Structure 1
Amino acid sequence: MTNKRPMTFEANENVLCFHGPLLYEAKILKTDWRVLDPPHGDEGACYLVHYRGWKQTWDEWVPESRALKMNEANLAKQASLKESYPGKKKTVPKTSTSTESSDRGKKRAKDTSVDKEEDFTKRPEIKVPIPDSLKAQLVDDWESITKNQQLVPLPKTPNVVEILDMYREFKKDKKAKSDEILQEVLAGIKAYFDRCLGNMLLYRFERQQYVDIRKRFVGKDDSEIYGGEHLLRLFVQFPMLIAHTSMDQDSINALRENLVDMLKWMQKNHKDLLLSEYENASPAYQSIVKS
């Protein structure tokens, strides 16, 4: 029997909640004692949370370890996480010397922005649930790099290409159906990884490492150098990435099914795919980054 101590949070309380490596404002809808990640997890205090500004389809039960009190210290931590984690760069609108043309430009820009927003909201939504043990890995990943100033040793073994091949063999042994679809999905994951790593998947502290490693391995793709830690970060970004494609609902459903299955496989094989300890960055590296 679990020793049920008093819960830290209450229903209707506003909190900060980890979703992937970032903290988001959320409201606790319900509280309960349950096992979130069977059969590996233990029973504990859990909370049904609604993320502020997100659709109800993103409501989820989370363990107490993912929730933080809404206070100044944790709000500062949220801001630090957001600043450290790679994201979209803001674009600066161009100016015009003509007032009339500037007004027309602003109107066109506004109309275009509205159209894009309407198109975006009409696109099919994809939700890729990440197992709680892998979410914990993402949090540890962030802390190791941004707080402890450590790095993933590169080139990583197994790398992303090798991980995708391992998963392909796993599905082959399971006599999985729709092998052609699986091949397309894995090829798509590799393409997304190679396209996104340098722009979206690196923390600020890792960027100098990226510059250095690309000089050493000029003829290789990023997916042949980086491994599961950065692949897991890509899975966090997939809902946003896919929302900006022209995929139909059937294609999205097939992709989501394969992504969810692969995450479960990564969870079961995390000891072979993901680091338990990161390497300390050298004083010389830290000096370059700070300068």
Structure 2
Amino acid sequence: MDWLQRMNNALDYIESNLDEEIDYKKIAKVANCSEFHFSRMFSSISGVSLSEYIRRRRLTLAAFEIQTSDIRIIDVAIKYGYGSSDTFSRAFQKVHGVTPTKARDKGVQLKAFPKISFQISIKGDTEMEYRIENLDFELKIVGKSEPVKTSRAFKKIPTLWNTAKKDGLMQELKDMSWEDPKCKLEGLLGVCGKEAAITDEEFSYFMGVRYEEEPPADMETLIIPPSTWAVFPNIVDAWKRLYSEWVPTSEYELANLPCIECYYGPKHKPRHELWVPVLLK
């Protein structure tokens, strides 16, 4: 499959440049997709952000070199992109549990993170429902944002909504909702990242609603331009299957905009949907 080969070519590029400065735009170019598209697909399929994967691979190779040669620690640090032995030592200890100097002792247990290789298991036994929505107007979303660690997003986001229910934010957002919606984004909205991409260890999760009036003083406003969306029922299932099943086999790629989780009222079917910004390939 061409998509699979391009993704693995990008991984080969990363592997051959671990001791050099890695250009994220170059990675995406090798994969023949946008930087945003590649980063999101990578983190979803692999379960780790692109930056964290690169960091782990570099520290794995650094450990091998320290154990098998008499190279100076500072030289290893510089080789793998660290400006000082102190920052390298902290990063090394966080991954391996010991300092670089201690890693030279015989019998010390270290961690090796192998190179990733993408593969697809074709099942075809479970369909993936979706629809395409074209919104020809700006989405003005008003609400509040909270920081979320990427690795804990699936646990943290439900907690944010539970807190919003207890402290009154959820009811306030409901009271701000409109009676005559322009589109089907008529519920409580969770916008995943105010910026274009989730490539770091933390992103901003924005809880709000579409709102046309002047926002309350304690709330922020997020504007999303006219765009096309692929819409999937069942947010959790959609997130799990989006990058590994739907995107590789569809005629679309991700647009450089945040995804939106839409939570509807108790009588609405489905109860929630994932809105994904897309462009035709």
TM-score, L = length of structure 2: 0.24
More helix by share: 1
More strand by share: 2
